[in-house]
């Protein structure tokens, strides 16, 4: 059993052989200029700054032999899996499905829906397309994790308060012991990230734990 002694709110113990890393939505549409994130008026540079951290985290997880699952939020070309309540929300300059600089916004198979190259999946790693914010909704994630015998989950990706937090809460409801890597996740809003970290580890870790990449690396090498 590995132990992250300085995880918050207290030490996180995890069996490496039953632990997987889920990297949420590190996609061009969210991290690069011209994508959906920018059409909503956000500074995508905030998200792009965690790319080196995610690269380091992937290196640590791969060295430990952990299963790695990469998610992509996207929709079918006919938008049959994108309800109007989602497509019409907010006031973006381009909506889901509209043509943009990287193809149709958040549409499966378009360049903008791809994971940024530096953190892309390697052969053998799972890439999971999801139509919602949570990675368990309308996907095979639960079956995949059960088939691998996974009991503990590490999380990274974007955005902290939306797709990452939603998936962690879904996982917590399904009995997984969850830990969010603090320096491998980000929000367009600094206060939203901070609040999410507080919510996850509040009340004795009611949803899960948080820790840094270095803390995880030390635990795996102890």
Which residue stretches of the chain are H helix?
28-31, 36-39, 45-48, 51-63, 84-87, 141-148, 165-173, 190-205, 213-221
Q: Residues with Cβ < 8 Å from 149, sequence gap 6 or more?
A: 17, 18
Annotation marks residue 178 as catalytic: no
25 is catalytic: yes
Pair 193, 161: CB distance under 8 Å? yes
Radius of gyration of the chain (CA): 17
CB 158 within 8 Å of CB 20: no
Cα–Cα distance, 131 to 188 (Å, whole number):
21
How far is it, in rounded angstroms, from Cα 222 to Cα 213? 14
The token pair at 26 is: 């590190």
User: Of 82, 114, 129, 163, which one is the catalytic site residue?
Assistant: 163
Annotated catalytic residue within 114, 130, 133, 193: 130
- The set of catalytic residues is 25, 130, 163
């Amino acid at each position: 059993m590995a132990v992250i002694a300085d995880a918050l709110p207290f030490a996180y113990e995890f069996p490496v052989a039953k632990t997987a890393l889920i990297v949420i939505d590190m996609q061009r549409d969210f991290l690069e200029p011209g994508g959906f994130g920018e059409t909503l008026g956000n500074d995508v540079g905030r998200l792009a700054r965690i790319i080196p951290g995610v690269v380091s985290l992937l290196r640590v997880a791969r060295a430990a032999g952990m299963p790695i699952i990469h998610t992509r939020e996207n929709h079918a070309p006919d938008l049959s899996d994108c309800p109007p309540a989602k497509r019409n929300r907010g006031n973006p300059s381009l909506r889901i499905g509209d043509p943009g600089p990287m193809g149709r916004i958040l549409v499966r198979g378009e360049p903008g829906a791809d994971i940024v190259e530096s953190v892309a999946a390697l052969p053998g790693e799972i890439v999971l397309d999801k139509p919602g914010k949570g990675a368990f909704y309308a996907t095979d994630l639960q079956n995949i994790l059960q088939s691998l015998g996974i009991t503990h989950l590490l999380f990274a990706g974007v955005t902290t308060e939306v797709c990452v937090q939603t998936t962690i809460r879904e996982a917590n409801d399904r009995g997984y012991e969850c830990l969010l890597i603090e320096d491998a996740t980000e929000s367009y809003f600094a206060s939203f990230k901070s609040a999410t970290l507080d919510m996850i580890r509040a009340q004795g870790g009611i949803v899960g734990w948080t820790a840094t990449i270095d803390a995880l690396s030390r635990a795996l090498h102890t």
